[in-house]
Chain A
Amino acid sequence: MDKIVEQMTRAIAQRTSRRSFLARVGKVILGAAAIPLLPIDRVVRAADAAAGKLPKGIEDDTSCDYWKYCAVDGYLCTCCGGGSHDCPPGATPSPTSWVGTCRHPSDGRDYIVSYRDCCGQASCGRCLCARTEGEMPLYRAQLDSDLIWCFGAPTMMYHCSTAEIVGVKS
């Protein structure tokens, strides 16, 4: 897991100029994170159990059943002028996020998904999707989806939620 978080932090760092901030955030999150192995393993088991019956919206990124949204929590950016991993106009992708593991319906791989909020616009309020696979209470902040994950963004004003693949779980 440390490796995954490290890769994720590195991937995020490549996209942003806020390196010093991220170094700090990375340290905080990594520091707290000898942690999430178990929840993620459990998600995989839950996905195993659910395999066979796929919901209708599993390939539709405006549906709460979309495969990448297995631990999303908020208003879907795809309903607000954005994409599943793109912010709507005028909103900024947060450099920080919580993470989940979702199984792709056809290739069967487990992807590490980073749930990055889009920040700096007022709340979008459309397509509320609150899924909780692997979601943890506040004391495991990096797995808590109720937080406003706009740390490091220009403002903490939450607009909508995305799901970005950051890697395949090895």
Chain B
Amino acid sequence: MSTRVRSLVLLVAAILLVAAPRAQAQLPPDQMTSLALPEVGPGWIFVLDAGFPSTAAARVYIVDTGRLKVLGQVSGGYLSNFVLAPDHHEFYSVDTFYSRGWRGTRTDVVSIFDAKKLNFSGEVEIPPKRLLIVPKRDSASITPDGEFILVANMTPATSISVVDTKARKFVGEIETPGCVQAFPSGNRQFDSICADGSILTVQLDDSGKAKGKTTSKPFFDPGKDPVFDQPALVGSRAYFDSYYGNLYEVDLSGAEAKGAQPWSLITAADKAGKWRPGGWQTVAVEPKSGVLLVLMHQGGDWTHKQFGTEVWVYDLAQRQRVKRIKLKTQGYSIFATNADKPMLEVLDLQTSMQEGTGQLEAYNLTTGKFVGKLDELGSPFVIYGP
């Protein structure tokens, strides 16, 4: 650009700047409001930030994975769990509080939030025994009809507290000796996994009390090939991946759980390359596409919590691996969504236990391509779906 032309451009710009305020009306004062959420969408996920390094206040980021945007937050307490009403009208945070923050009297509650305004709308006090652990998904859950919330306890004796969501009342406690967690497997039924590799199925009556209990045959050998304790759940079918790379499918629909013959997720070559599952939430299923996803890394024995470098995709019907997705950064928890197309959501925890720099990465499940990321998510451990 010549000097003369540049001077002319600057002159015009200066005139416009001076003239602009006269040509426009002044801005009206802002009116400040609180926004409301739309209906829960199929591409939404709920990311539980355990709040490390303090852990005193957990929170759940509500994320639209299509836009990779945080829509709002549900605030929790000490190592809280999250529960979503199946009809999406309420969110629940299962919390422990001490009356003076880190000291004082312990109170455990199910805190209730309306799903539009995210206002706190009530609480149900439960026995101060809930399982306190780096958050695992099935430490609290809800029956498919939304009637009962099931909260795992450990003192270290194990039991389940039952909360009636309609009456907003604590119903009672069901002992589950030697068995932990609550996988909801029917409107009046849940399952817990036991130390010997069996499954305890508990049937409830309409008031939420235990009506029957059945222990299955062990479906795996915890001494030889331990399964991870956060299976993918689709309806009343559970998909457990194991430390040594096997997949155990369990039918939880009946009064007695039934394990199927396990199948291997890894070939002899994978085994030689020391590939195995690992991380936190290590397995997911995308039911519409009929695929199973497993977070994989290369490592020796006892590397079951190592970050994953790849997600392996399996055709569930064929029991065949169909794809390997290389992750941009290492992942710790995975989940699948399918709003308009199948997507893989990966939580990366990396240094966030100390620095709170966890992030979410999204991949197109069909092409395996990285789509985008959302950062500054604290220390995110668990992904819940709608």
Contacts and interface: CB of A to CB of B under 8 A. Distances in A.
Interface of A: 24-25, 28-29, 31-32, 35, 37-39, 42-43, 45-46, 49, 75, 96, 120-125, 128, 130, 132-141, 144, 146-148, 150-151, 155-158
B53 interface: yes
Interface of B: 52-56, 78-79, 96, 98, 101-103, 106, 131-134, 136, 154-158, 177-181, 193-195, 222-224, 226-229, 300-305, 353-354
Nearest to B139: A138
Contacts of B353: 128, 130
Given A25-B156, A138-B229, A123 B54 contact: yes
Nearest to A127: B354
A57 B283 CA distance: 34
A43 B302 contact: yes
A39 B223 contact: yes
Contact of B195 (A37, A128, A140, A157): A140
Nearest to B229: A137
B217 to A, nearest CB: 15
A151 B155 contact: yes
9 pairs of A and B residues whose beta carbons are closest in the complex? A125-B53, A38-B223, A137-B229, A122-B102, A148-B132, A146-B134, A138-B229, A139-B193, A133-B302
B319 to A, nearest CB: 24
Nearest to B96: A156
Contacts of B222: 35, 136, 139-140
A125 B54 CA distance: 7
A158 to B, nearest CB: 7
Given A28-B157, A35-B195, A138-B229, A132 B106 contact: no
A157 B98 contact: yes
Residue from B103, B106, B194, B224 having most chain A Cβ neighbours under 10 A = B103
Contacts of A151: 154-156
B80 to A, nearest CB: 13
Nearest to B199: A139
Residue in B178, B180, B223 with the greatest tally of chain A CB atoms within 10 Å: B223
A136 B133 contact: no
Contacts of B194: 139
25 contacts: A31-B177, A32-B195, A38-B224, A42-B301, A49-B300, A121-B102, A123-B53, A128-B53, A130-B353, A134-B302, A137-B226, A137-B228, A137-B229, A138-B180, A138-B181, A138-B193, A139-B179, A139-B181, A139-B222, A139-B229, A140-B222, A141-B156, A148-B133, A155-B106, A157-B98
B180 to A, nearest CB: 5
Nearest to B221: A38
Given A46-B300, A128-B354, A138 B136 contact: yes
Contacts of B134: 146
Contacts of B177: 31
A141 B180 contact: yes
Contacts of A144: 133
Contact of B56 (A122, A128, A137): A122
